[in-house]
Amino acid sequence: MAPSSATLNPPKSPEVINQSTPQYWDGMVADFDSIYTGESKSTLDVLLDRWLRKDIYDRVVATVEGVSALGTNQLVLDVGVGTGRLCIPLGKAGHRIVGVDFSPQMLEKAQANTTQAGVVGQCQFFQADLLTSMPETVKQQGSYAAAAILGVLDYIEDPSPMFANLKNLGLKRVYASFPRAGTLRCELRKLRYKVQGLDCPLYFFTPEQVDQYGYQVMGAQKVTQQLMGELHFAVYEF
């Protein structure tokens, strides 16, 4: 898509931007990881996940393919690493991963999952809120080729500061998934969160916003968007 001349809302300070909490995610580790493993799920639920949440698996595959196309042994920043499910195929493909998350329990599970998969030696994990700042320890881990932000922006009212925090890492690519605004499934998802009483805000994005985080916030040279199920899957090139 060509750069849009429309502007984003005026920037807010990260501290006042509404987003989910580490405590919420600490309590979601088993539920979230079971989307990948099927653990403790009925066969019907597993089949429903494979159908309705296919985009969750597809975005992992697209990111690993994109990073591998940059070369071997690439250093990848996994923003909101969760239970480490992207680290495993990246590690198996020979890349190194710095996984950052603000939830201690998610990080513990990422450590366990990557250990079990035999790729923990290629991973480093750090606890931080990447909306607020990019810690020096994360910056100093090496020369990053790419960053991935998968399944994270759904829960952030305005992710501009998170994208701005990636600006000085020398990245060649950023891969990001955004839940699409205006779909029926977006309304159903909001309803499901309400009915289940999930204490977590939800946000949806337009293609124009997806472009603007690249061109206006990060200074990308090129933004490619792909419709992937209920998502916009974006590749930002620098």
| Contacting positions for ligand SAM (CB under 6 A) | 19-20, 25, 32, 80-82, 85-86, 100-103, 106, 129-131, 150-152, 155
Pairing of strands 173-179, 231-237: antiparallel
The nearer residue to ligand SAM, 1 or 58, going by C-beta atoms, is 58
Query: Is the Cβ–Cβ distance between 149 and 177 less than 8 Å?
Result: yes
The nearer residue to ligand SAM, 103 or 122, going by C-beta atoms, is 103
Q: How far is the CB of 100 from ligand SAM (least distance, A)?
A: 6
Query: Is the Cβ–Cβ distance between 47 and 74 less than 8 Å?
Result: no
Q: How far is the CB of 3 from ligand SAM (least distance, A)?
A: 27
The nearer residue to ligand SAM, 19 or 225, going by C-beta atoms, is 19
d(CA 200, CA 40): 23
Q: How far is the CB of 4 from ligand SAM (least distance, A)?
A: 25
Q: How far is the CB of 20 from ligand SAM (least distance, A)?
A: 6
The nearer residue to ligand SAM, 102 or 205, going by C-beta atoms, is 102
Between the alpha carbon of residue 95 and those of residues 10, 68, 73, 89, 191, the distances in Å are 37, 8, 4, 9, 39
Residue nearest to ligand SAM (CB): 82
The nearer residue to ligand SAM, 85 or 95, going by C-beta atoms, is 85
Query: Which letter does DSSP use for residue 15 in this model?
Result: G
Angle made by CA atoms 227, 219, 96, in degrees to the nearest 5: 70
Query: Which letter does DSSP use for residue 19 in this model?
Result: B
Q: How far is the CB of 229 from ligand SAM (least distance, A)?
A: 14
**Which H or E run includes 235?**
strand 231-237
Nearest C-alpha neighbor of 92 from the set 66, 112, 121: 121
Pairing of strands 123-127, 222-228: unpaired
